[in-house]
Amino acid sequence: MATKHFVQRALLCLVAGLAFTLGLSPFDLKLASIASVGCLFLAIQGQGWRQGALLGWIYGVGFFGAGVSWVYVSIHIYGQAPVGLAAALTGIFCSGLALLTGVQTALFCAVQPRDALSRVALFTALWVVFEWVRTWFLTGFPWLFIGYAAIDTPIEGWAPVLGVLGVSLILVSTACAIAEALTVKTRRSAAYLGLWLLIIMSSGLLIKTVEWTQKLGAENSVAIYQPNIAIKENWDRRNAQRFLSDFYDHAVTHAALADLVVWPEGALPFYFDQAPGYITQLRELATENGATIITGMPTRAAGQRFNSIVAIGDDLETYNKQKLVPFGEFVPWESQLRGLISFFDMPMSNFSVGDSRHQRLNTVVGPLAPFICYEIVYPDFVARGSKESNILITISNDAWFGTSHGPHQHFQMARYRALELQKPLVRGANNGITALVDFNGDVAAQLPQFERDTLRAQVQPRTGLTPYAQLGNWPALLISLLFLAFVIIKAQRHRR
């Protein structure tokens, strides 16, 4: 009978993990993520740490398996790995990440608080701490945070104050409180739960009316190019001249109309030093029109190669990417893995990490905080890099993930950075999602995916810092530590 009950719990964890992603973009069934967390909370009740670890790992397999299944697309289609191998590598990746969830639930079950309040506090604190761990452990993979489910809801008002981890704390504690209330089924528990929901939603709405940042100067015009170039075409040298002509024609048309012309990550398929004449032409064009052209392209110096953003105008400025994607931009254990399969030899997978002291680009519209692709998903990294800038800009090439939900998740996290920092975000992507996001995290203008087009819009620079921009993740982590302290103190009193 005990085995049967454990199997039922395991199935509940797997289904709950699979359902979590439905709360995020593009599905946006917000309650799915909350229900997912609540189910895990109930499933591990009364289990020993070993059983808890296994249940947490099973939940994690579903959680990451559904949430980051888009990794398969880049491995199979662009890495040219056979279906079976691509599926196996994706499975290993997701199962490895799930070990963190297993450790998280094992710790909860090892303590197993007796009272409901302590259970909620411990589970919430561990969830937030482990989300934070994923921002830096093994270079970091800060994806699938439950706090992202709060965007476009009243609770998003807390984002500029506590950041995504703080909002995760609110949502996880709410999920656990709902689970406890459904278990107890008393009027008092229902009343407390109703009061809590009223407080977090009304306070979120109230805080959302606060403008932590202020307008700076006049609006500026931007022209963001979405060229919709296939990955395989981009690095085919036979297409180089056609692409260069296309981008130059785009600059001729739009530099006269916009203050800022934005091209996506890796737009120019050559190293910066390989075509000085072409760069000079772009610079003359930008200078004549009082504009700045922002483009993604590789650069190299002192024997190192970088994935970069280059600002071309009165001055030439470069930002080199600091958060590199494993296997996509560098290959761990390179000497052992290079040459085994095509996936480990993808184009431009030998980049170096950029200098952390350089994180702004001066342009005709003022200083920009630049982020390339994956960097925008690191909350504290973006917060630190945004302090001296009035506009956030991120360029990407999400063509690596095809028609999957990966690009939608990526865009949702980019929107969240604008919300946390209350600064507008300009996003240029090769095949989408290309958009302008306002300081409240709302989409001001957007292009459809998989279409070649230019987004023309107005962007309003803003100055000032939100509480999150100043304090980063520390408030959310401090609250989590206070929750842990509460649990420890309560447990000691029970022992007496």
Quick one: pLDDT band at residue 336, thresholds 50, 70, 90? very low
Quick one: pLDDT band at residue 355, thresholds 50, 70, 90? confident
Record the pTM.
0.94
What are 377's two structure tokens?
């998903």
Domain ranges of the chain: 2-211+474-495, 214-465
Rounded CA-CA distance 433/153 in Å is 22
Rounded CA-CA distance 217/357 in Å is 27
Q: What is the pLDDT of residues 424-456, one digit of tens each?
A: 999 999 999 999 999 999 999 999 999 999 999
Please state the separation of Cα 408 from the chain's center in Å. Answer: 10
What are 295's two structure tokens?
């483009």
Query: What angle separates helix 379-386 from helix 406-421, to the nearest 10 degrees?
Result: 40
Distances from the Cα of 439 to the Cαs of 44, 191, 362, in angstroms? 40, 36, 20
Bridge partners of 222?
Answer: 260, 457
Whether 323 contacts 292, CB under 8 Å? no
Quick one: pLDDT band at residue 343, thresholds 50, 70, 90? low
- What does 453-491 look like in DSSP terms, one character per residue? EEEEEEE--EE---HHHHHTTHHHHHHHHHHHHHHHHHH
Q: What is the pLDDT of residues 186-241, one digit of tens each?
A: 888 889 899 999 999 999 999 999 999 999 999 999 999 999 998 888 777 788 88
Whether 411 contacts 427, CB under 8 Å? yes
DSSP-derived secondary structure letter, 179 = H
- What does 351-395 look like in DSSP terms, one character per residue? --PPPTT---EEETTEEEEEEEGGGGG-HHHHHHHHTT-SEEEEE
Give the CB-side neighbour count of residue 463, counting CA atoms within 13 A: 7
DSSP-derived secondary structure letter, 259 = S
User: Which of 34-48, 94-108, 323-337, 448-462 comes out lowest in average pLDDT?
Assistant: 323-337
Task: Look at residue 56 and tell me whether its pLDDT is greater than 60.
Answer: yes
Buried/exposed 286-314: b ≥16 CB within 10 Å, e otherwise: bbebebbbbbbbbbeeeeebbbbbbbbbe
**Sign of the dihedral through C-alpha 373, 379, 385, 391:** positive
Rounded to the nearest integer, the mean pLDDT of the chain is 92
Q: Which of 416, 377, 444, 402 is nearest to 224 (CA)?
A: 444
CATH class of the structural domain 214-465 = alpha beta
Q: Which residues are catalytic?
A: 265, 321, 373
Q: What is the pLDDT of residues 467-494, one digit of tens each?
A: 999 999 999 999 999 999 999 998 877 7
For residue 331, the model assigns a pLDDT of 63
For residue 348, the model assigns a pLDDT of 57
Give the CB-side neighbour count of residue 485, counting CA atoms within 13 A: 6
Distances from the Cα of 140 to the Cαs of 49, 98, 380, in angstroms? 26, 14, 12
Phi, psi of 57 (to 5 degrees): -65, -45
